[in-house]
Chains A and B, each alone.
Chain A
Amino acid sequence: MLLALFSFLSAVAIAAALMCITRKNPVACAIWLVVTMASLAGLFLLLGSEFLAVIQVLVYAGAIMVLFIFVIMLLNLGTESSDIARPAVWIPGVVLAVVLAVELVTLRLYSPERLAYEFTRTAQLTDPAQVFPGAAAARDASLQHGVLGAVAEPLFTQWLIPFELTSVLLLAAIVGAVVVAKRKV
């Protein structure tokens, strides 16, 4: 059941991504990208990251894509002819992407056991549950404190400084976007 749902969502994500890069109209590209991101949110759910699934829908499929659609509308795009490069450019591109995909897909052989083995480098100790106690601890924490509590606890203790730095980054991005997009400085 889990695997069937996973396969379905993966197939939707990949098909929508392919549609996204081949549609002529930028608005159609954006809509297909939203489909990809929504199915990725489903995959996150299946992989046990409920909080990230919600954030994926809110931030990516919501906020970021609205920004994209807004800019497409503002620039009044979608009336020109196709912007897909001529065959002399896209055929090598496809070859390159296929080679990259094959290289990366060989990672499919990766199992949790192999990850555990490479982590410890001893043949006896390959039980992922033993090598990575963090996974079980995370599951316990989400049962005990809820899904949000399990994410919040490390975020505000172990990762506090990166979290605070993120706020500086966002402030810089806001100011930067306003300055760059302003008509005259």
Chain B
Amino acid sequence: MLLGPALAVSAILFAIGVLGVLIRRNAIVVFMCVELMLNAVNLTLVAFANVHGMSGQIIVFFVMTVAAAEAAVGLAIIIAIFRHVRSVDLTNINLLKG
């Protein structure tokens, strides 16, 4: 059974995603790290679906849909911010009021 190893791999990938969010300042790279974390959680769900039944796979399907929607809106926000500040460096983006 691959449940244990799969959980370990997904845990490591999730931690790498968190590390990326913490150390990078480029908004797009931070966004990619968020996608990495979502993928790590998907791996967990697939591993449990292997033991438990079909529901886990369906939930992964929904997670992917939400991730696609989130990527579209998030990247649109990054483009809007870039027009305003001329940068995607998160240290430059510190005003709630543009």
Q: Which A residues contact B (CB, under 8 angstroms)?
A: 2-3, 6-7, 10, 13-14, 17-18, 20-21, 26, 29-30, 33, 36-37, 40, 43-44, 46-49, 51-52, 55-56, 59-60, 63-64, 67-68, 71-72, 74-75, 77, 80, 83-85, 89-90, 93-94, 96-98, 100-101, 104-105, 107-112, 115, 128, 132-135, 137-138, 141, 150-151, 154-155, 158-159, 162, 166, 169-170, 172-174, 176-178, 180-181, 183
Q: Main SS of chain A's interface residues?
A: helix
- Residue pair A90, B23 in contact (C-beta under 8 Å): yes
Chain A residues with Cβ under 8 A from B96's Cβ?
none
A63 → chain B closest CB, angstroms: 7
Q: How far, in whole Å, are A134 and B48 apart by their CA atoms in the complex?
A: 11
Chain A residues with Cβ under 8 A from B12's Cβ?
14, 101, 104-105
Q: Which B residues contact A (CB, under 8 angstroms)?
A: 1-20, 22-26, 28-29, 31-33, 35-36, 39, 42-43, 46-55, 57-58, 60-62, 64-73, 75-80, 82-83, 88-89
B13 → chain A closest CB, angstroms: 6
- Residue pair A177, B72 in contact (C-beta under 8 Å): yes
Q: How far, in whole Å, are A74 and B69 apart by their CA atoms in the complex?
A: 19
Nearest opposing residue in chain B for A106, CB measure: B11
Q: How far, in whole Å, are A96 and B22 apart by their CA atoms in the complex?
A: 9
- Residue pair B32, A29 in contact (C-beta under 8 Å): yes
Please tell me which one of the listed residues A37, A46, A105 contacts residue B2 in the complex, with CB atoms under 8 A apart: A46
